[in-house]
């Protein structure tokens, strides 16, 4: 059996494949700091050429280079493959240098690969390793692959539309799209998200300069407040018109227009989630750290909780800054400026740019024309059905591994994959790799190299990627 021969090749070449991942992760690529971006793009370009992509090039953007590559196998089916090679900033709290790509034990795992970018960079190299193994055994791939690899995911993915337009002559011929990633939790559970919400991220500014009132050019002493207008209070009042924390509703006129109701398929998935996690919802909601939340909005639980999480938009204040924020009363100031960042997670069909304009119109109508709005990110949502070919191909990989995944209608978080759906009409399958990588914002980020019988290691991760490629190429026939 050819697929088994490829599995054997993966297992017999683990040391080489691990070194490939270590080398890629050892190359810094921090987009927020501009560190190592060109070098990392060049290294990825080399990997694509080593794979046999005859069309492979650096794709320059106004910020950082992306990488485009096309592997033409002469096959009947074509997949677009989205990835990103930039990482979060390093931060503090590391036990191992983040770019040494250290392999070490981390109970219950005998071996993990530590390093910034383990989740995206490490797992993506595992995907390329899987493709290389298929080629080594068969001499060719069973599908054509079009790779769009960006270096700006952590700074907003502003240039994905530019890249899609630049390579539209190829990408318009793709049948579906995938993101190659590990999908297991730390305990071995498998989660499949059928899409994700869009994201509109805005920084608001109120300042004496913009307002024409209050201090300009710097703060003044707080004792002047009886006679000097206050930009911070003005921003607070402006924000209060946008959202009602009692009803937990956005107050912007028309903000919910176009919001899609759950389909019958969505409701079936929600009911399955509610039944499986009754009384333990906090353990499975993505992004919730254990023990951090004791009670949900309006006391929600079960079906109602999952419905709200998956199908309602958000208006989340994730940062406020103004004046002196240190301890004690060291400085007595009336600040000249105040800032607030808000991210809005938007289900289909709430268009981020339409929502932005509605917010702008709302502030203007309420007399806050001077409050500035800077868009930091605007990416659309994307949606997949369990009946779509690429989803079915992924689900039967789980069947072949005797894995029963937890299937969500969508993830509450966001990413730029929605551009592929919006601009190209592609259905996109998220991570299906049998493996686990820790969060990309935490210290000691790692990818499991040797699993524990429940969580897959590098071999299982690559073998499951092999299966995905064969499953999709053969679908709807057996593979």
Write down the domain spans for the chain: 2-194+384-474, 198-379
Sorting pLDDT into bands at 50, 70 and 90, what band is 325? confident
Structural class in CATH, domain 2-194+384-474: alpha beta
Answer yes or no: are the C-beta atoms of 447 and 127 closer than 8 Å: no
Q: Which residues contact 392 (CB under 8 A, 6 or more apart)?
A: 386, 475, 476
Percent of the chain with pLDDT over 90: 91
Measured distance CA(109)–CA(126) in Å, rounded = 18
Measured distance CA(114)–CA(94) in Å, rounded = 9
Query: Cα separations (Å) of 431 from 127, 158, 191, 464, 472?
Result: 11, 22, 9, 11, 14
With CA atoms as reference, report the closest residue to 14 among 462, 399, 465, 405. Answer: 462
Can you tell me the mean pLDDT for 89-104? 95
Answer yes or no: are the C-beta atoms of 276 and 190 closer than 8 Å: no
Residue 402 pLDDT > 80: yes
Residue 48 pLDDT > 90: yes
- What are the backbone dihedrals phi and psi of residue 366, each rounded to the nearest 5 degrees, phi first? -90, 10
Give the pLDDT of residue 292. 84
Residue 442 pLDDT > 90: no
0.95 exceeded by pTM: no
- Beta-carbon neighbour count of residue 264 at 10 Å? 6
Can you tell me the mean pLDDT for 58-85? 98
Q: Which residues contact 320 (CB under 8 A, 6 or more apart)?
A: 338, 339, 340
Can you tell me the mean pLDDT for 235-249? 96
Can you tell me the mean pLDDT for 432-441? 91
Give the pLDDT of residue 53. 98
Give the pLDDT of residue 93. 94
| pLDDT, mean over the chain | 95
Q: Quick one: fold of 198-379?
A: Alpha-Beta Plaits (3.30.70)
- What are the backbone dihedrals phi and psi of residue 17, each rounded to the nearest 5 degrees, phi first? -65, -35
Q: Is 48 left (phi over 0), alpha (psi -120 to 50) or beta?
A: alpha
Measured distance CA(147)–CA(461) in Å, rounded = 19
Percent of the chain with pLDDT over 70: 99
Give the pLDDT of residue 331. 76
Residue 99 pLDDT > 70: yes
With CA atoms as reference, report the closest residue to 160 among 395, 463, 417. Answer: 417
Residue 289 pLDDT > 90: no
Give the pLDDT of residue 329. 63
Sorting pLDDT into bands at 50, 70 and 90, what band is 282? confident
Give the pLDDT of residue 330. 67
Q: Which residues contact 219 (CB under 8 A, 6 or more apart)?
A: 323, 333, 334, 335, 336
Query: Cα separations (Å) of 231 from 202, 321, 339, 362?
Result: 18, 12, 10, 19
Q: Tell me which residue has tokens 């006679």.
A: 227
Can you tell me the mean pLDDT for 310-339? 90
With CA atoms as reference, report the closest residue to 77 among 148, 144, 140. Answer: 144
Residue 153 pLDDT > 70: yes
- Which of 294-298, 313-317, 389-393, 461-465 is the least confident region? 294-298
Sorting pLDDT into bands at 50, 70 and 90, what band is 290? confident
Measured distance CA(268)–CA(275) in Å, rounded = 11
Can you tell me the mean pLDDT for 60-81? 98
């Amino acid at each position: 059996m050819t697929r088994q021969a490829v599995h054997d090749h993966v297992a017999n070449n683990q040391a080489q494949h691990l070194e490939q991942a270590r080398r890629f992760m050892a190359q810094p690529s921090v987009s927020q700091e501009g560190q190592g971006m060109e070098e990392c793009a060049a290294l990825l370009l080399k990997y694509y050429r080593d794979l046999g992509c005859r069309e492979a090039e650096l794709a320059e953007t106004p910020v950082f280079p992306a990488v485009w590559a096309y592997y033409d196998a002469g096959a009947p089916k074509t997949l677009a493959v989205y990835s990103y090679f930039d990482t979060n900033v390093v931060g503090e709290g590391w036990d191992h240098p983040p770019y040494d790509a250290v392999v070490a034990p981390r109970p219950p795992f005998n071996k993990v690969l530590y390093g910034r970018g383990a989740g995206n960079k490490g797992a993506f190299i595992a995907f390329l390793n899987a493709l290389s193994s298929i080629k080594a055994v068969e001499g060719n791939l069973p599908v054509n692959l079009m790779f769009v690899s960006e270096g700006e995911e952590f700074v907003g993915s502003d240039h994905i539309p530019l890249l899609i337009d630049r390579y539209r002559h190829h990408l318009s011929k793709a049948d579906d799209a995938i993101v190659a990633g590990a999908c297991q939790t730390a305990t071995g559970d498998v989660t499949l998200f059928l899409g994700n919400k869009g994201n509109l991220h805005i920084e608001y500014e109120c300042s004496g300069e913009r307002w024409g009132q209050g201090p300009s050019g710097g703060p003044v002493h707080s004792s002047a407040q009886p006679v000097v207008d206050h930009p911070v209070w003005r921003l607070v009042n402006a924000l209060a018109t946008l959202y009602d924390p009692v009803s937990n509703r956005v107050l912007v006129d028309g903000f919910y227009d176009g919001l899609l109701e759950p389909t019958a398929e969505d409701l079936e998935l929600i009911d399955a989630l509610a039944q499986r996690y009754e009384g333990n919802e906090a353990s499975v909601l993505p992004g919730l750290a254990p023990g951090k939340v004791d009670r949900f909005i309006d006391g929600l639980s079960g079906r109602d909780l999952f419905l709200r999480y998956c199908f309602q938009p958000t208006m989340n204040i994730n940062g406020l800054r103004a004046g002196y924020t240190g301890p004690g009363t060291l400085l007595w100031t009336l600040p000249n400026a105040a800032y607030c960042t808000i991210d809005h997670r938007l289900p289909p069909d709430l268009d981020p740019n339409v929502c932005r304009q509605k917010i702008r119109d709302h502030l203007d109508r309420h007399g806050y024309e001077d409050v500035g709005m800077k868009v930091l990110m605007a990416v659309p949502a994307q949606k997949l059905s369990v009946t779509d070919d690429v989803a079915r191909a992924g689900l039967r990989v789980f069947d072949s591994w005797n894995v029963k995944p937890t299937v969500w209608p969508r993830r509450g978080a966001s990413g730029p994959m929605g551009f592929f759906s919006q601009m190209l009409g592609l259905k996109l399958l998220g991570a299906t790799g049998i493996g686990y990588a820790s969060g990309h914002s935490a210290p000691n980020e790692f990818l499991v190299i040797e699993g524990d019988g429940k969580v897959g290691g590098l071999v299982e991760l690559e073998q499951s990627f092999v299966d995905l490629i064969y499953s999709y190429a053969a679908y709807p026939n057996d593979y």
